[in-house]
Amino acid sequence: MNTGGAARRGISPGDCGANGVGPGACGLYTAIGEVNLHAALQAAKTMQERGTFGAGILLRGCYPKRKNYFAFHVLFRNREVARELEPLFTEEKVGMRHYGEMEPLVDAEMYRKYDLPEMRRYFMIPPGQDVMLRRKHTDNEYEYVRRVVEEYNQTHMGQSRIFSSGKDVGNFLTALTLEDTIRAFNLYQYESAPLTAIMAHMRWPTSIVDTGVWWGAHPISFLNSAVVHNGDLSSAQSNRQGLEAAGVERMVGTDSEAILLEVDDLVTRRGFSMREVEWVMCQKFPKELSALEQDERRDYLKMVGDPILSRYKMSGPSSFIAIVGDKVIAGRDRDGLRQLWMGRSDDGKTVIWGSEEKVIYQTAWMVEKRFRAINCEPGKLVAFELSGEGKIKDLYGETLAPRNAEMPI
């Protein structure tokens, strides 16, 4: 590769963030239901060529022994900052109590090998309802923790960041390759845990705003919600305004986070059905609109005509998988500018998404199951409900339901 010009401008092939944009493309991988960590990571590794540097893995169900505690993964710029800010967590200053012993999140050897920021893990318990009401005017513990996380991330922007804050969920990020990321967090230690979802994202995101350390790396998560996204929404600024108008606080500020917040707002706060979410986010082309039934078209136009909801529309290349509460939603932009392959095992217990078809073959080969695979239809969402034990319930869209189950004759 001739990098003469790039090198003069201070851009090296591995650079990202402040010095420029590295080569490659985002690689998404998500498996839900009956999952196998080893198979998932091996399959994700097949996208290493496209992912280059930067990797994030989100494991749902990785802390079964401490599933009632909020697991905070906190990143500090360096050891001095960590020493200064750690008392916030250990001495109950963020408004939650720390539980248990401190365990290292990252292998000490990795700090010697790489210039990694300090990463630590705290298991936190929210206070009682009356205290929550007094402090944040809410008696919902999820709402309370969300506000704590928002406030911490805003206050310490640039120095520190809580990048994982869910119950029984762990988000593991580095700017290294996937192989090194696995090694840094020693991820295979979670292989025996009853995982219900694995979400991986390859490559450092390129549309980061210049605020804070590790700002905007995927999977973007808060509490038990997370998103991985490949693409560059040209509607990012419009989406941002829509969220601002709806009173949704943004934590990262990227287009990818906007997708998560929009889905969360529509599904959790407004209680929309999946079809309505699809209407709002992937608006219909004139031809599709004219094909709708009259009543349906009226409802559709009324919904997308709302000044705020009309700003929730995604336009531009995008494929994403989002986990909101117990719902998993995946979709492609309506123009089909990014790939999103979906596969489902013949027994229906596992669903996989990937940016490339090969990850589905790789997984199938590793777990020795038959999978059906399709490229998701542009502008359509597909949604599942995921129970605590990892059971999948089809909610909406082309879910590749097992053929036997719906055989009519």
Binding site for another protein (CB under 8 A): 209-210, 232, 234-238, 241-242, 244-245, 247, 285-288, 302, 305-308, 310-311, 313, 315-317, 334-337, 378-379
* Euclidean distance between CA atoms 385 and 45, whole angstroms: 27
DSSP letters for 380-402: -EEEEEE-TT--EEEEES-----
8-state DSSP, 167: B
CB of 240 to another protein, least distance (A): 9
- Give whichever of 271 and 286 is closer to another protein, judged by the CB atom: 286
Going by C-alpha positions, the residue among 181, 154, 146, 149 that lies closest to residue 55 is: 181
| Range list of β-strands (E), 156-258 | 160-164, 169-174, 197-202, 220-222, 225-231
Identity of the residue, 139 or 288, whose beta carbon is nearer to another protein in the bound complex:
288
Distance CA 304, CA 174 (A): 39
Nearer to another protein, 73 or 311 (CB): 311
Q: Which is nearer to another protein, 311 or 327 (CB)?
A: 311
Structural tokens at position 277: 């979410």
Rounded to whole angstroms, how far apart are CA atoms 334 and 282? 6
Kindly report whether the peptide bond that precedes residue 219 is cis, defined as omega within 30 degrees of 0: yes
At its nearest, how many Å lie between another protein and the CB of residue 58?
A: 27
Shortest Å distance, C-beta 243 to another protein: 11
Q: Please report how close the Cβ of residue 9 comes to another protein at its closest, in angstroms.
A: 16
Q: How far is the CB of 152 from another protein (least distance, A)?
A: 22
Closer CB to another protein, residue 237 or residue 273? Answer: 237
Residue count (the chain): 409
Nearer to another protein, 235 or 256 (CB): 235
Question: Residue 228, SS3?
Answer: strand
Q: Tell me how far, at minimum, the Cβ of 377 lies from another protein, in Å.
A: 11
Nearer Cβ to another protein (313/344): 313
Which DSSP helix (H) or strand (E) runs through 323?
strand 318-324
State the minimum distance, in angstroms, from the CB of residue 288 to another protein.
Answer: 8
In the complex with another protein, the residue whose CB is nearer, 303 or 395, is: 303
CB of 405 to another protein, least distance (A): 32
* Cα–Cα distance, 73 to 185 (Å, whole number): 12
Task: Report the residue number, 45 or 332, with the smaller CB distance to another protein.
Answer: 332
Q: By C-alpha distance, which of 98, 286, 71 is closest to 166?
A: 71
Residue in 205, 186, 183 with CA at minimum distance from that of residue 253: 205
Distance CA 371, CA 267 (A): 29
* Number of CB atoms found within 10 A of residue 171's CB: 25
Contact yes or no for 22/53 (Cβ under 8 A): yes
Q: Which is nearer to another protein, 308 or 373 (CB)?
A: 308
Pick 14 or 316: Cβ nearer another protein:
316
Least distance (Å) between residue 254 CB and another protein: 11
Closest CB 334 distance from another protein, rounded Å: 7
Which pairs from 126-135 meet CB under 8 Å and 24+ separation?
126/70, 126/95, 126/96, 127/95, 127/96, 127/97, 135/95
Q: Least distance (Å) from another protein to the CB of residue 250?
A: 12
User: In which residue are the tokens 């986990």 written?
Assistant: 323
Number of Cβ atoms within 10 Å of the Cβ of 140: 12
